[in-house]
Structure formats: C-alpha cells, structure tokens
Amino acid sequence: MKRLLVLALAATSLFAHAQTYPGSKPISIVVPFAAGGPTDRVARDLAEAMRKAMGGSANFVVENVNGAGGTIGATKVAKANPDGHTLLLFHIGMAATPALYRKLQYKPLEDFEYLGLVNEVPMTLIGKPQLPANTYRDFENYIKANSGKLNIAHAGLGSASHLCGLMWQSAINAKEAMTTIPFGGTGPAMNALVGGQVDLMCDQTTNTTGQIEAGRVKAFAVTTAKPLSKHKLLKDYPSLQEMGLKGFDLTIWHGLYAPKGTPPAVLAQLNTALKVALKDADFMKKQDGLGAVVVTDKRMEPAAHKAFVAGEIAKLKPVIDAAKQFAD
Ligand code: ASP
C-alpha cells in the first residue's frame, strides 16, 4: 500500500514537472568552449530555434564553460541538477576525449541523457594570411621546410581542432614540425590566427567560411573525403584525401545532452522541441550557409544518437592511438 502511494506520488510529480516545465526558469545550454567559436555559434542558433519550437516562452541562455578540450563544461553538466534546466551542446569531443584523457570526470555513455544529434560539419585546414603558400601542396612543402618553427592552434586536448591537427600531422608525418598552442576555443584561436600570432589551425567551416571569404585567413584543404562541391565558397578547395592523405575523412558532429536522471517527460519535451528546431527554416539556412548539414535522419532520436556516439568512440580510439605521438 505504502509502495503504491510512493509510486502514485512519483507519477504525479512527473506529470506536474512536465506540466510546469520549463516555467520561467531559463534553460541553460552549456557550450564547453569559448564564445565566438563554432560550437558557440551552433548553440546560439539552436537556442533560438528551440525557443521558437517551445512556443516562444522558453527562456534559453548559452553559457560558455571552456577549458581542457570541452571536458570542464561536460563535467559541469554531468554533475548538474537533472531538472532540464542545464543542457550540454558538445561535439565529436564527446567521443574523442575518452581516448585522450587518462581520467575523465564523466562517462560519456553513462552520465548523460541523449537528446539528439544536431548537425555534421566539415573542417578546413587554414593558415595565417602572411603564409607564402597558396595551394595545399605548397603549404605542405612549406610546413616540412620549416619544421620546428611553426605553431598550430587548437581548442585543447580532445577538441575537434586538436583531433584534426593530430590526424593531419600523423598523415603527413610531421612529427617535429609544429608546436601546439591551446586556446579555450577556436573563437579566440581564430583571432590569434587572423592577427598572425599563430601559423595554422584546422577548424569547422562554421567558424572559417566568413574569415576565408573576407581574406583574413588562407584555406588549403577540406577534411571530408570528397571536396565540398556544392558549397559556393568551399567548392574550390581540395580534400586532404585527394591530396594523397589516404583515408583522411573527418566530419565534426554536435549533439545535445542532459544530465543523467532528467525526468523522462522533460526529455520527451526537449527532444520534440529539438526535432522541430532542426526543421526550422532559419536554422537550416544559417547552417547551410556555414557549410554544416543539419541532421534529418533517425539520429535525431535519443537511442540512435547514443548508438552513433558509441560507434564514434570505438571508431576514434584506434585512430587517436595511432596519432597520439603527435600530441603534446
Ligand atoms: N572548434 C572548437 C574545437 O576545435 C571548439 C569551439 O571553439 O567551438 O573543438
């Protein structure tokens, strides 16, 4: 009898939660990188689309908790109150960091509720405008000729830019060639690149297209297996695979997460809002212009999103292990 009463009370509170959620309390989307970078950009556009999807009354805020390749922000969300008011937007780092950190404060597949995959974004290999090279071939030769003198920016161990740089250095066997300079995100790293304080970087098109178009950085290649033939600006850049880097194929993805234990009714509400947001015309247009592809397949659903990330963890481990010698 007592048990029944407890169950009934739990069900009532679940229902009450779903009825009142989100209420007037803001929903914070934690971005584990600095403001002004690609993850931040996706989060801000997504927050707006989700606000609309929830009838315009939900109050979304983006919170930048950067450091340690995204792991500080991810830890914060893993440990947050699971009430649907703290979410995490993280990228491929969710799957890359387990292979790069000896001790993570969270378990990617156990400490989060999966809400759905958001987008997939190619990367570009870019350099400061003063670099003498204008083609990928010249760029690679320049890197090799200046071994030990150059530096490459990234957003911390396990970040997308770090992963891309590792894979690339490993593919061209440029072991001694570069010093890595970590930033809290590729937003500030981009400023350093434009200012000529660092020499090169690999970053998502969501952060690089505007700078490439304005001539503030030089682009040399894209990281997808094939060139981005449909993109009006990036279509002219070769893929690294075309340039002889066998099997090089890197696409960054972003997903939305909540802390483990968030009530199922709240998760369902958030997933519904996410799916509506992913079809929002403004959101899709913005993402398309930046070279990102919004997810339309079943990975919008929690179970498929989680299965995808589990697959990525397994896929990245051997790639990272092979390239790890290039990490510092
Ligand atoms: N693009 C960054 C990375 O390399 C993250 C960011 O600043 O959004 O992971």
The number of domains in the chain is 2
Ligand 1 lined by 64 (C-beta under 6 Å): no
Global pTM value:
0.91
Distance 43 CA to ligand 1 centre (A): 12
170-200 residue pLDDT tens:
899 886 778 999 999 999 999 999 999 999 9
Indicate if 104 and 141 belong to the same structural domain.
Answer: no
Residue ranges for the chain with pLDDT beneath 70: 1-19, 175, 326-328
- Which of 222, 243, 266 lies at the terminal end of a domain, its last residue? 222
Distance 44 CA to ligand 1 centre (A): 14
pLDDT at 4: 43
For ligand 1, atom 7, which residue shows the shortest CA distance? 185
Ligand 1 lined by 186 (C-beta under 6 Å): yes
**Domain contains 105:** yes
What are the CA-CA distances from residue 65 to residues 74, 75, 77 (Å)?
Answer: 9, 10, 10
**Domain contains 229:** no
Q: Which CATH number does the domain housing residue 107 bear?
A: 3.40.190.150
Ligand 1 lined by 187 (C-beta under 6 Å): yes
**Domain contains 195:** yes
Closest ligand 1 atom number to CA of residue 69: 9
261-320 residue pLDDT tens:
999 999 999 999 999 999 999 999 999 988 899 999 999 999 999 999 999 999 999 988
**Domain contains 328:** no
Indicate if 103 and 13 belong to the same structural domain.
Answer: yes
* Host domain of residue 66: 2-121+252-323
